Amino acid sequence: MYGAAVTFYERVPTGSLTAEQCHKLHLNQSADVEQKTVNINKCICLLSHWPFFDTFEKFLVFLYDMACSGPHAVPIER
């Protein structure tokens, strides 16, 4: 089994954080919220029986670019 992955960080809006999350991230003061960003790491993975690493990398980067380009009529998962 072969695998390829693209790992990236996605920004989380500070308004969507709970009070407990803000406390654990030390974002209790309003000045902190304006100066700091909160990110979550994400990964797109592809598993295969064939070792096409260059092709898989190009495909995963294409999927990442497509996901970042905005809303689509058909979900990317399809």
Predicted confidence (pLDDT) per residue in 18-59, tens digit: 888 888 888 776 665 567 788 999 888 999 999 998 899 899
Q: Is residue 36 part of a domain?
A: yes
Give the 3-state secondary structure percentages of the chain, helix then strand then coil, rounded to 5: 40, 30, 30
Cα–Cα distance, 70 to 78 (Å, whole number): 16
pLDDT of residue 48: 92
Task: Please measure the distance between the N-terminal and C-terminal CA atoms of the chain and give it in whole angstroms.
Answer: 23
Query: Domains in the chain: how many in total?
Result: 1
pLDDT of residue 74: 76
pLDDT of residue 1: 92
pTM, full prediction? 0.65
Q: Is residue 76 part of a domain?
A: no
Q: Is residue 73 part of a domain?
A: no
pLDDT of residue 73: 80
